[in-house]
Amino acid sequence: MKALVTGAAGFIGSNLVDRLLAEGYEVAGFDNFSTGRMEFLSDALASPRFSLHRGDLLDSASLQAAMAGAGTVFHLAANADVRYGTTNPRKDLEQNTIGTANVLEAMRACGVKRIAFASSGSVYGEPEVFPTPENAPFPLQTSLYGASKLAAEGLIEAYCEGFGIEACIFRFVSILGERYSHGHVFDFYRSLRHNPGELQVLGDGKQRKSYLYVQDCIDAVLTAWRRTGRARVEVYNVGADEYCEVNDSVRWICERLGVRPRLLYSGGSRGWVGDSPFIFLDCKKLRALGWTPKTSIRTGVLRTVAYLEQNPWLLEARCLP
């Protein structure tokens, strides 16, 4: 079985590629390398069952070329920088919404009938119910990133109804672990390396977030994916059964690095426009399939720091937004 993984050179994508190869899949990787890293694919590239296709989701021809012969698509490519939506609103629309439409059209063209999609808990906006279930009250969007993922979910669902495709839609919390290359742990770690005496924290540090370790995330995806007897479209929350404050994360990172910086809060209950002050997803549906997260948030944060310590090149490489 050949699987196409979009965003194959990204944080989650490359971990998924490695796992699929380990399980015997033939894997075609697709990435535009806007944030993906060739280094993340060094293991994959050594496999005769892996092929790499450099291309952008907006280029339908290269997408179809990469998809040829695939039986399934794991669609992870996205603009994943939630914070910068208002800086460049077109980016989320193009990479996440139009990009997904192009993936679906390529599936029609290539006769591919199954898709797994990396959506986000941010589609719940600022939920009223915690932990938030998949059938929470119809939410209002608060970020362009969330809106673009919601739009992509809707497109996938409509294609399932209209064209007989099957989909698993995964609403991820923030993911941590090896190859993590953007987000708050990355920012804190880089800042503390530069200046251990001081740390800027967005918001008041009391934002409560659920995080998940990347291997638990991939376990979740593959558990749901293998499950037979699904409905045509299944939506799954994917998160930990716990949450922490940003301040907890700061403390774990500082303890690990042995630093005691002065904390400078930007203030307010949100880190940025559209930041949700509390993210905690109800994952009962996925747990009912036998999945359970094995790694605590604290361990996930510490493994992420360890990975960044072992890969200093990653700190230098990244420029935002």
Shortest gap between Cβ of 33 and its own copies (angstroms)? Answer: 25
Structure-token match 């799954």, residue found? 236
CA gap 305, 254 in Å, rounded: 10
CA gap 36, 5 in Å, rounded: 13
Does 271 sit near its own copies (CB under 8 A)? no
Of the candidates 160, 152, 166, the residue with the CA atom closest to the CA atom of residue 119: 152
Which two structure tokens, joined as six digits, stand for 134?
Answer: 């998949």
Which two structure tokens, joined as six digits, stand for 232?
Answer: 């045509």
Indicate which single residue of 50, 159, 280, 307 sits in contact with its own copies (rule: CB under 8 A).
159
Identify the active-site residue in 25, 124, 145, 189.
145
Does 235 sit near its own copies (CB under 8 A)? yes
CA gap 170, 117 in Å, rounded: 6
Closer residue to its own copies in complex, CB, 33/278? 278
CA gap 44, 23 in Å, rounded: 12
> 10 Å Cβ neighbour count for 229?
4
Indicate which single residue of 14, 142, 174, 249 sits in contact with its own copies (rule: CB under 8 A).
142
Helix axes of 297-310 and 184-194: crossing angle, nearest 10 degrees: 50
Indicate which single residue of 162, 267, 268, 321 sits in contact with its own copies (rule: CB under 8 A).
162
Binding mask 94-133 for its own copies (x = CB under 8 A): ---xx--x--xx-------------------x--------
Cα distances (Å, whole numbers) of residue 216 to 118, 197, 222: 14, 34, 10
Q: Is 145 a catalytic residue?
A: yes
Indicate which single residue of 29, 85, 183, 205 sits in contact with its own copies (rule: CB under 8 A).
85
Indicate which single residue of 9, 17, 66, 150 sits in contact with its own copies (rule: CB under 8 A).
150
Shortest gap between Cβ of 164 and its own copies (angstroms)? Answer: 10
Closer residue to its own copies in complex, CB, 115/297? 115
Does 268 sit near its own copies (CB under 8 A)? no
How many CA atoms lie within 13 Å of 34's alpha carbon, on the beta-carbon side?
A: 16
Amino acid at 103: V
Closer residue to its own copies in complex, CB, 135/310? 135
CA gap 278, 309 in Å, rounded: 29
CA gap 159, 63 in Å, rounded: 18
Shortest gap between Cβ of 258 and its own copies (angstroms)? Answer: 39
Indicate which single residue of 69, 154, 268, 312 sits in contact with its own copies (rule: CB under 8 A).
154
Does 274 sit near its own copies (CB under 8 A)? yes
Closer residue to its own copies in complex, CB, 85/183? 85
Indicate which single residue of 157, 187, 245, 248 sits in contact with its own copies (rule: CB under 8 A).
157
Does 141 sit near its own copies (CB under 8 A)? yes
The dihedral region occupied by 183, where left means phi > 0, alpha psi between -120 and 50, and beta the remainder, is left
Indicate which single residue of 23, 45, 89, 198 sits in contact with its own copies (rule: CB under 8 A).
89
Of the candidates 83, 102, 82, the residue with the CA atom closest to the CA atom of residue 32: 102
| Catalytic residue positions, numbered | 145
Q: Which residues bind its own copies (CB under 8 A)?
A: 85-86, 89-90, 93, 97-98, 101, 104-105, 125, 134-144, 146-148, 150-151, 153-155, 157-159, 161-163, 233, 235, 273-274
